[in-house]
Amino acid sequence: MDRLNQAYGAGTMRDRPTFIRVRAAAAYHAAVDLISSVIGAVRTGTPHARRITESGAWGARYPAFVGVGFHVVLGGTGWLVGRGGTTTALRAGDVVLAPFGSEHGLSHAPRPLGALPMAPMSGEPPAAGPSDFDFLCGCYRLDRGRAHEFLRHLPDVVVIPRDEDGQARLRLLTALLDDDVSEDRPGGGASRAALLDLILVHALRRWQERSGEWPAVADPRIAAALHAIHDGPERAWTVQRLSGVAGMSRTAFVRRFTAAVGKPPMAYVTGWRLVCAARLLRETRDPLAAIARRVGYATESAFGGAFRREFGVAPGRFRADMDLAR
């Protein structure tokens, strides 16, 4: 059991109850920070938001994309149309979440998805006057990389029903986002991203409360390892050290981690380091060598090679592309 303290640079641990308490605390923090890690990953994309109003007979199909998106129903009633022909009634206060950008549609009535016209991508403001259906769309589009692993544990499209306890908070967030997208103001890119983050956090929390934990967080040993990875991407992680954090043998740890998370431990470590690097490239002007060290790479060249394999471009080009997209 000394491996847990070795992984964190602490002294020898002698009593098992202490180890269990430490691991339980790490599992709790993993549950808390999992949504934060998801938001951190999607923030490497470009934020978009738009308010739309519809009246009469209407429908729109939203094609698949790489990223995460949502619709918040502000007023009226309508229908969500899924890829398999499923339909779900929508009302004011409902949130439609597309965790990894799956194709779906919205309509005034249940209709086949293929019969719906493609949603216009223009940023036209909503028409003035009353409407039958009023909603706010938001998304992060990932031009490079892919959505967070844990979003794959969610259904293609999720309807999070109106929550009376959270309605005041959701109304405030949507009002702020609507105001932000209706006028081009200084700092709009930063405020839009922050508001998208908060609405996504609200939706993911509500889904988690209704549906239970993600498999990785439900397993306290794997959750402890995840918390350690998320908390310290710069650490010199190995399977041996992570299995020590989890209090398991290497073989059992690799098997259970891969089953819960969807990829082996060190592949997940690499992916998380590069997600953190992409966020730093987008949000800071730190030199590439400094970013490399902050995410666990000893040299800028090793970091650059790993980043190119994950995102398809060099870190400097990724930063330049993000600057142009703002």
pLDDT at residue 211, rounded to an integer: 79
Residue 215 has pLDDT above 80, yes or no: no
60 and 31 inside one domain: no
Q: Which residues of 25-59 are buried (b: 16+ CB within 10 A; e: fewer)?
A: ebbebbbebbbebbbbbbbbbbbbbbbbbbeeebb
Instruction: For residue 163, give both structure tokens.
Output: 């929550």
pLDDT at residue 213, rounded to an integer: 63
104 and 129 inside one domain: yes
Which DSSP symbol is given to 118? B
Residue 304 has pLDDT above 90, yes or no: yes
CA angle 256, 234, 221 (to 5 degrees): 25
201 and 307 inside one domain: no
Instruction: For residue 253, give both structure tokens.
Output: 């740890």
Helices (H) and strands (E) in the chain, counts: 12, 8
57 and 113 inside one domain: yes
Can you give the residue range of the structural domain that contains 113? 47-211
Instruction: For residue 98, give both structure tokens.
Output: 């597309």
Q: Give a three-class secondary structure readout of 276-300.
A: HHHHHHHHCCCCHHHHHHHCCCCCH
- Interatomic CA distance for residues 242 and 257, integer angstroms: 10
79 and 168 inside one domain: yes
If pLDDT is split at 50, 70 and 90, which confidence band does 144 have? Answer: confident
What is the reported pTM? Answer: 0.78
**Domain boundary, last residue among 211, 231, 260:** 211
Give me the number of domains the chain comprises: 2
Please enumerate in sequence order all residues whose Cβ is within 8 A of that of 147, keeping only pairs 6 or more positions apart, or say none.
Answer: 41, 42, 66, 67, 68, 99, 100, 101
CATH of the domain at 241: 1.10.10.60
